[in-house]
Amino acid sequence: MNYRIVKNLFKCKDVKIHKRGCIFCQIVKKKIPSKNVLEDERYLAFLDIFPISNGHTIIVPKKHYQNLEDIPEQELVEIIKIVKKVAVLIHKKLKIDGYNVLQNNFESAGQEVNHFHIHIIPRNKNDQRFKLKIPRNQATEQELENTLKLLLL
């Protein structure tokens, strides 16, 4: 498949068009080739074509769900089992030091494909490939209380 077509499928935001043209749905249907690490009747794990590191794998349910809020709880439980199986395989076979398990929801959080998916990103000590910036400024007691009030309303 042409790279430009694949790139355009990543950008699609229209839900009706996206379900027909979703790049992950197309991969599941074998309309776009992929390098599959694991597949069963409900889930597919394949190598990312834009890997952060060697072995970067994406796990998707074969059924289209937009994000974490959309996927049924039982499906979520089952896909986590697949994630664990693939993560252990990657860790053992690629002889890496560790890995990140990442799942983004909505564009502002980095979700580029509106099909629920989980990344496994292999890591080696000091690889500098992927950094999560954790703030070092502690929240005040009042900030925590205000947030808690909003959440518990």
> What's the rounded mean pLDDT across residues 27-31?
97
Contact 88, 55 (CB under 8 A): no
Catalytic residue positions?
A: 117
Flag whether pLDDT at 99 surpasses 80. Answer: yes
pLDDT for 128 equals 85
Q: How many whole angstroms separate alpha carbon 59 and alpha carbon 69?
A: 17
Give the model confidence (pLDDT) of 19-28 as tens digits.
458 999 999 9
Question: Where in the chain are the domains?
Answer: 35-152
- The CATH topology of domain 35-152 is HIT family, subunit A (3.30.428)
User: Are the C-beta atoms of 151 and 102 separated by less than 8 Å?
Assistant: no
The pairing of beta strand 43-47 with beta strand 98-102 = unpaired
| Banded model confidence at residue 136, pLDDT cuts 50, 70, 90 | confident
Tell me which residue has tokens 């439980």. 77
Flag whether pLDDT at 10 surpasses 60.
no
Distance CA 102, CA 67 (A): 13
Beta strand extents in the chain (DSSP E only): 36-39, 43-47, 57-61, 98-102, 118-123
User: What is each CA distance from 82 to 1, 59, 85, 137, 141, in whole angstroms?
Assistant: 28, 8, 5, 36, 39
Does the pLDDT at position 56 exceed 60?
A: yes
Quick one: tokens of 147?
Answer: 């947030």
Arithmetic mean of pLDDT, 134-152:
93
